[in-house]
């Protein structure tokens, strides 16, 4: 890689971190992924109200208006998944929505989200996805879906996320989904992380060492530019 290209990539990272890059608005992304003929706002209102059993119509309408005018984003990942089902998205388009609004795409080490991903892949509706999710949770994870945890130093990664995802892509039936979850039951939740979140945490330690546990000396305070130049190498 040439020096000019490397410099350009460093500048791109710096511009992203400092907010100089204009990102796509949530409403624009919704319009891009929606492929139906029905008006987008109408579709969201109808489907999300249906998911609520016909309740909270005004609250739902207000949320949709806020999303369409980019006043705020969905409050949590479950709400984002509801939007994905409401718009009949596939896994790829759902990944884009989740990546923009909920910090990362589908968590392929989280069995609950993998069940949703399977249902999106198969074109199932949200209500059916909930039924399958609750059924499999009761049968395979009676104590609840595993949460993120940090493995001890003596434990080796049993499955990398990429490998899990590759295997999961071959799952096409509910029986295959159940067998896959059963065979991977002990591995879910381990070593799950969000790269961007951890990168920002480390960047904060470089820029503001006084907030880090390591207590870096004052003369090691980094600007965003210096941190990018020192550590954002492209391999």
Q: Walk along the chain (235 residues) and give the pLDDT tens digit of each residue.
A: 556 666 666 666 666 566 665 567 999 999 999 999 999 999 999 999 999 999 989 999 999 999 999 999 998 999 999 999 999 999 999 999 998 887 788 988 889 999 999 999 999 999 999 999 999 999 999 988 876 554 444 444 444 567 778 889 999 999 999 999 998 887 776 544 445 555 666 666 666 665 555 544 444 555 555 655 555 544 4
- Of 109, 115, 46, 41, the closest CA to residue 78 belongs to 115
Structure tokens at 74: 């969905």
pTM for this prediction:
0.70
Calpha distance 109→97 (Å, rounded): 18
Nearest to 116 by CA among 77, 60, 161: 77
Separation CA 52–CA 58 (nearest Å): 12
């Amino acid at each position: 890689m040439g020096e000019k290209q490397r410099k350009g990539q460093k500048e791109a990272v710096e511009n992203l971190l400092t907010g100089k890059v204009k990102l796509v608005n949530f409403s624009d992304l919704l319009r891009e992924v929606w492929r139906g003929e029905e008006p987008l706002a109408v579709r969201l209102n109808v489907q999300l109200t249906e998911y609520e059993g016909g309740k909270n119509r005004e609250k739902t309408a207000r949320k949709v208006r806020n999303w369409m005018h980019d006043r705020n984003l969905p409050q949590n990942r479950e709400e984002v998944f509801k939007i994905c089902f409401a718009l009949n998205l596939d896994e790829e388009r759902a990944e884009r929505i989740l990546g923009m609004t909920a910090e990362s795409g589908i968590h392929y080490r989280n069995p609950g989200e993998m069940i949703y991903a399977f249902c999106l892949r198969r074109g199932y509706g949200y209500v059916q996805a909930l039924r399958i999710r609750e059924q499999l949770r009761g049968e395979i994870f009676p104590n609840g879906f595993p949460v993120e945890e940090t493995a001890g130093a003596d434990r080796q990664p049993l499955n990398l996320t990429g490998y899990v995802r590759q295997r999961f892509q071959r799952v096409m039936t509910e029986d295959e989904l159940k067998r896959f979850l059963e065979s991977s039951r002990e591995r879910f939740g381990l070593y799950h992380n969000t790269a961007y979140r951890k990168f920002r945490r480390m960047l904060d330690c470089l820029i503001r060492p006084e907030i880090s546990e390591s207590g870096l000396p004052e003369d090691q305070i980094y600007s965003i530019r210096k941190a990018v130049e020192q550590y954002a190498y492209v391999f």
